Amino acid sequence: MHTPASETPILRAEHFSKYLGGRKILDDCSICMHPGDVKVLIGPSGAGKSTFLQCINCLLEPDEGEIWLGEKQINVKNSKELCYLRQHVGMIFQDFNLFDHLCAQDNVALALRKVRGMSKQDALKRAKEELARVGLADRASLFPAQLSGGQKQRVAIARALAMDPTVLLLDEPTSALDPELVGEVLTVIRDLASHGMPMIMVTHQMEFARAVATEILFMEQGQVIEHGAPDDLLAPGTISRTQDFCTRLCDLCSGDTGRIEE
């Protein structure tokens, strides 16, 4: 159940722009999140999707724009406020970003100890709970080299969930996985969505996006050029840039040798 739009959003990124190498990568992009929202960013390579996510978490500082958590505007140049933002906005990367020298349980527990100040015993207990939540209770003592790609990504999800994020950002979380491992990660994400975890996700898994998204945002050349509910943008017979892109993407996935020219 979604909060009425009139209530204060849990997160707002407003009018973000970002320049890299003298080129404008993001151009006046905005997104607004309410409890239970699952928003999916799609578009061609180089559209600015990952840059937008990284600016929301301030891994890249936006050159223009404002970010709000609830009714609090975040000053990203203030280290305390930046830390506050990152504690509330979790990030899942394409390539897992686990510490190779730590087992799965210690990877999840580390931030709980270093950032939250939890005792080792309490942090390890919470880490084990989060690993169980993503189906890895029996892998807690294994190191990343002993895990499959899908298992590594689930450890990364558990690590983010342990911090009790207000919003979870997922940057193509299945793109580095072998096809047979994609499903186990999408199952975890689908379960999170069904339990109301607010998420912003970059993905090319269009059937998954259609099933779980409350809104799709189509990006091109650094701008959000279309947005709306999946049933509106992707309905049969719909003429939209989003529908056209998804149709050609599906053609490629089904074996069409043509290329999407952008």
- 157-199: pLDDT as tens digits: 999 999 999 999 999 999 888 888 898 999 999 999 999 999 9
60 found inside a domain: yes
Can you tell me the distance from the alpha carbon of 260 to that of 262, in angstroms, rounded to the nearest whole number? 6
- Per residue in 50-86, pLDDT (tens digit) is 999 999 999 999 999 999 999 999 999 999 999 999 9
Instruction: State the chain's mean pLDDT as an integer.
Output: 89
Helix or strand run (H / E) with residue 29:
strand 23-33
Per-residue pLDDT band at 251 (split at 50, 70, 90)? low
Can you tell me the distance from the alpha carbon of 61 to that of 158, in angstroms, rounded to the nearest whole number? 26
- The pLDDT of residue 249 is 66
261 found inside a domain: no
CATH number, domain with residue 249? 3.40.50.300
Range of the domain at 185: 11-92+165-253
- The pLDDT of residue 257 is 36
203 found inside a domain: yes
- The pLDDT of residue 54 is 95
171 found inside a domain: yes
Other residues' Cβ atoms within 10 Å of the Cβ of residue 19: 13
Can you tell me the distance from the alpha carbon of 243 to that of 219, in angstroms, rounded to the nearest whole number? 13
233 found inside a domain: yes
Rounded (5°) CA angle 144-146-150: 70
Per-residue pLDDT band at 206 (split at 50, 70, 90)? confident
- The pLDDT of residue 259 is 35
Question: Residue 55, exposed/middle/buried by CB under 10 A (0-12, 13-18, 19+)?
Answer: buried
128 found inside a domain: no
57 found inside a domain: yes
Q: How far is CA 39 from CA 33, 35, 53, 81, 230, in A?
A: 8, 11, 12, 25, 10
- The pLDDT of residue 250 is 62
CB–CB of 76/61 below 8 Å?
yes
237 found inside a domain: yes
Sign of the torsion formed by the C-alpha atoms of 116, 118, 120 and 122: negative
Sign of the torsion formed by the C-alpha atoms of 226, 53, 129 and 185: positive
Residues facing 74 on adjacent strands: none
- Mean pLDDT for 40-48 is 92
Number of domains in the chain: 1
pTM of the model: 0.88
